[in-house]
Amino acid sequence: MNIINKEEMVQTCETERLFIRTLSLDDVPELTTILSDPEVMKYSIRGVCDEAATRRFIEWCLKSYASHSIGPLALVEKVSGKLIGFCGVGTEEVNGVEEIGLGYRLAKQYWSKGLASEAVQAVLNDAFSQKQLSSVVAIIEPENIASLKVAEKAGFATFNTLEFHGRPVRLYRLTSQQWSTPQNYAVIATSI
């Protein structure tokens, strides 16, 4: 496997406040700080991640970039240059079917600032416009109110209830046709 270092990271898009780029193993320390916070990981099937788990997650991301040209991406705050979390789409097995699932995590100090919505809009724009994906799912526990709001703001409207890794969840689906409706033309993200 080719390991991506800082010199080889690829910026995929940006928003008003964020650079969105591929992750690299150089991100392990900063991302571990974020993913080791129990509040950040409360609704994660992985649970709290130590450095080894974060390294495995980034290695999975690197494999996903190579095999599918998609995966969770680093969110870097433009003003500070600091890694504040990740957002992206990647493969996810749901009830025996491979789906393209949306995932994101932000450091707690960046919550309630609209950054998750900003990142999700950019990632979905790239997924549908550049990667030509036909649909993306969001798997969210009903108690995760903040995440439900982010998904609904991005256009995820209807859901099915199912069990995922032993937890009751809502499975939302957004199609490329739904994404291309006029409400999403105002996306401020620009693909690079």
List, for residues 28-75, the tens digit of each pLDDT value: 999 999 999 999 999 998 899 999 999 999 999 999 999 999 999 999
pLDDT given at position 8: 56
Q: Tell me which DSSP letter residue 44 carries.
A: -
pLDDT given at position 111: 96
Please give the Cα distance from 146 to 49 (Å, whole number).
21
Query: Looking at residues 1-10, what average pLDDT do you find?
Result: 50
Q: What average pLDDT does the chain have?
A: 89
pLDDT band at residue 131 under the 50/70/90 scheme: confident
Name the amino acid, one letter, at 84: I
Kindly tell me if the per-residue pLDDT of 184 is higher than 70.
no
pLDDT given at position 181: 66
pLDDT band at residue 9 under the 50/70/90 scheme: low
pLDDT band at residue 182 under the 50/70/90 scheme: very low
Query: Which residue shows structure tokens 């990632």?
Result: 123
CA 121 to chain centre: 10
Nearest Cα residue to 24 out of 35, 36, 9: 9
Per-residue exposure over 59-78, b if at least 16 CB sit within 10 Å of its own CB, e if not: eebbebbeeeebbbbbbbbe
Query: Looking at residues 156-184, what average pLDDT do you find?
Result: 87
**Mapping DSSP to helix (H, G, I), strand (E, B) and coil, where does residue 72 land?**
strand
Sheet holding 190-191, edge to edge: 159-164, 167-175, 135-140, 97-106, 83-94, 71-77, 18-22, 11-14, 190-191
